[in-house]
Structure 1
């Protein structure tokens, strides 16, 4: 097995950004669809994609894709796929599934049929009638969309947003993958001040610190495919070595996270410590009304409260008006604000330069972007790696 097709799954609205990350890793055969980015690469890409992708949800190995409007079609075409080349005889291979706008709408039946087909394929190769499934995990997914079945194996294990630094979270945490996306979409550069005045458990400042020092988001966690005998251990060793070689640990950063809750700031400091960036981020208890800076240029990137409960809505609307007044004092800064309120721009006091539709979990939100003047160009003084390239989406 030389090259494989991989799928980096993506939250709605982030597909183009995930594609940019995949290309920045050096993989050019990229196809972008709703919710996923497919690319062709060698086996080492499983290691590198899991370690480096900041905005993807997970990485799946694509085994096959075909039309299946009947259970017989699903069984026979699944059985014909090269499962024994991918899955060892002692592997655990559970099947999960989903079906959208397809004739085969019973997910449980589809899962059972795929499981049976894979077992039959494995029987032919391994010459055994029963599989103990006590070895490495190869979680199979059958996804049906408009009668097209896509069969994949999950290579990540826990979702890629689980970097390993956030043991506990504040009441409404922002996923690490979405926080990284907000930063990358802002075109923030490490020589610019970044502030989050609603930092909560610190996700945006911590992700900024990882980006600023080019630290791979998966550096300090494990992936299910690390236990696969089908991927040489040397590939993982080289991929992890690359994460250390490309990290810019000596790069100084100016990142500030503020919040009005001292308890949640303690959690933010703890999370920053777990991520190894506690010396790069300054956390402070401060209401948004007191936000100031002596720096001429900077970026505020934040996820203020949404006011989902009826009683909170008026308070949140007052907060948005206050943000507009306070941020207007920083007239050479840029502002990037995630909000769900349909009247946010009116409450804030001015229309955004640009906005982008996203989802924060199941909540439909807009990313309001207010561009300030460009700061003077500075000569690059430290290393240049693919993570530091400007991502224009």
Structure 2
């Protein structure tokens, strides 16, 4: 890999900046730009669509920049980590919209690059990069949450196909997904060693999804049922009964990307406003211009410092992951940390709003106030999704600190 630095990297930056400026859709530059909120996820529903978000996604995907470091052979950008960082920086600098959000990009794609055969890579990776397939994750079950290896969804070998029966729960956006990467049991006599990793077309007969309404009023999660669902034999990734290793690897990518999702300008409380600015607007300032509540001021400062340290740690871990060919158990540390910091931030937002932070609906509350209380409720799931905080603490104690099991 070339050592991109100095003039070479700056020349590439100029190229990226010019390309983004020339190719960003004019419609998205408007303050009141209207796009389908689901368009950023792509998928079959948007094939042929001329929604401005989809047009933007297609243009970036043609350069491979939706997956800038993936091999060009599969439609990726084939960029070095340094070049990919430049693309990321220039997207942020110009305040361009994210071209594509995708579980395929964040979780499945890296796993396919590592474990899939060549035919599977050629079939699925280009469609992920182009945003032509929207994916969901079939892991948790009603009786297999934190103890994921207890899953019971059966996958039977029927000679020329696999037959799947069972149920998954908390399947994010399953009702809108085109495909599902799923853990299934192919051997009932063994626990971890009896699990396989398969890919399921959600249009297959026998697949049913039911959205679950949350206390926040949203329904991003679903129950997913598989009843005599037939899938091709080639939809098995890796070896039969070898899915647990793939599952653990994918969870590392998931935790890494959940953690990376809380960007510097993002608040888990349902608003992107800076905590200090919000606090001054709601609480007021003293004669020196400082926030009038010194205790609240201290806690806001501490939370902002925690997040600043967190962002720097994320960058270091990302660099280490690239150097070692993938994420490590350290992803459990950052997942645990960001869950705690994000929940604290959402509580601070609601607290500083006072009675205005308790609104659920109605004209007496501004949209950001309603968003804050719903975001506060949503943040409660941060310590559960992608591996609960308790599970992550166990991973840290065993795989990071090397501590023994309790006697």
Give 1 or 2: higher strand fraction. Answer: 1
- TM-score greater than 0.5 by the shorter chain: no
Give 1 or 2: higher helix fraction. Answer: 2
Q: Tell me the TM-score normalised to structure 2 length.
A: 0.28
